[in-house]
Structure 1
Amino acid sequence: MAAVARLLPLLLLPLGWVRPGACTDPPGGGWLAGTVPEEPRCTVERADASLTYSLFLQRFAFSRPVILGGVTDNSAFRALCTREKLLAAFGPFPVRLSTANTYSYRKVDVPFQEYVEHLLKPQDPARLGSGSGSGVPFHWHGPGFSEVIFGRKRWFLYPPDQTPHFHPNETTLAWLQHTYPTLPPAQRPLECTLHPGEVLYFPDRWWHATLNLDTSVFISTFLG
Structure 2
Amino acid sequence: MDIIRQFVLVCLVGGLTAEDGGGWFKPSDFSLQDEGRCNIDVLDGSSLSYLQFIEKYAYSRPVVLRGLTDNTRFRRLCSRSNLLESFGSRTVRLSTANTFSYRKDTLYFFGDNNFTEWSSLFEQYESPPYVLPHTGGAFSFGVAGAGTGVPFHWHGPGYSEVIYGRKRWFLYPPDQEPHFHPNRTTLSWLRETYPHLPEHEAPLECTIRPGEVLYFPDRWWHATLNLDTSVFISTFLG
Q: Are the structure 2 counterparts of residues 84 and 188 from structure 1 closer, same or farther at C-alpha, using a change threshold of 3 Å?
A: same
Q: Are the structure 2 counterparts of residues 157 and 95 from structure 1 closer, same or farther at C-alpha, using a change threshold of 3 Å?
A: same
- Please state how far the C-alpha of 1:101 moved relative to its aligned partner: 3.9
Determine which of 109, 112, 120 is the counterpart of 2:110.
112
- Please state how far the C-alpha of 1:24 moved relative to its aligned partner: 3.7
The residue number in structure 2 matching 1:6 is none
The residue number in structure 2 matching 1:166 is 180
The residue number in structure 2 matching 1:200 is 214
**Distance in 2 (alpha carbons) for counterparts of 1:106 and 1:116:** 17
TM-score (norm 1): 0.81
The residue number in structure 2 matching 1:100 is 98
Q: Deviations over 1:14-51 (max 9, x none)?
A: xxxxxxxxx84133212225421333321111111110
* 5+ long unaligned stretches in structure 2: 1-15, 131-144
- Please state how far the C-alpha of 1:115 moved relative to its aligned partner: 9.1
8 Å CA contact 1:65–1:203 kept in 2: the answer is yes
SS at match of 1:169: coil
Identity %: 57
Indicate the larger mover: 170-179 or 91-100.
91-100
Aligned AA (1:192): C
The residue number in structure 1 matching 2:21 is 28
**Distance in 1 (alpha carbons) for counterparts of 2:37 and 2:169:** 12
**Distance in 1 (alpha carbons) for counterparts of 2:180 and 2:33:** 20
SS at match of 1:138: coil
CA RMSD in angstroms comes to: 2.6
**Distance in 2 (alpha carbons) for counterparts of 1:133 and 1:36:** 7
* 5+ long unaligned stretches in structure 1: 1-22
Q: Are the structure 2 counterparts of residues 161 and 100 from structure 1 closer, same or farther at C-alpha, using a change threshold of 3 Å?
A: same
Aligned AA (2:102): S
- Please state how far the C-alpha of 1:106 moved relative to its aligned partner: 3.2
- Please state how far the C-alpha of 1:184 moved relative to its aligned partner: 1.1
Indicate the larger mover: 80-89 or 164-173.
80-89
The answer on 1:188 being equivalent to 2:202 is: yes
The answer on 1:67 being equivalent to 2:64 is: yes
**Distance in 2 (alpha carbons) for counterparts of 1:199 and 1:132:** 19
The residue number in structure 2 matching 1:129 is 129
8 Å CA contact 1:153–1:210 kept in 2: the answer is yes
Determine which of 47, 51, 65 is the counterpart of 2:43.
47
TM-score (norm 2): 0.76
SS at match of 2:47: coil
8 Å CA contact 1:152–1:195 kept in 2: the answer is yes
Indicate the larger mover: 47-56 or 125-134.
125-134
Return the structure number with greater strand share.
2
Aligned AA (1:100): N
Q: Deviations over 1:147-206 (max 9, x none)?
A: 000010000000011111111111100000000001012211011101000000000000
8 Å CA contact 1:148–1:199 kept in 2: the answer is yes
- Please state how far the C-alpha of 1:85 moved relative to its aligned partner: 1.4
**Distance in 2 (alpha carbons) for counterparts of 1:221 and 1:195:** 17
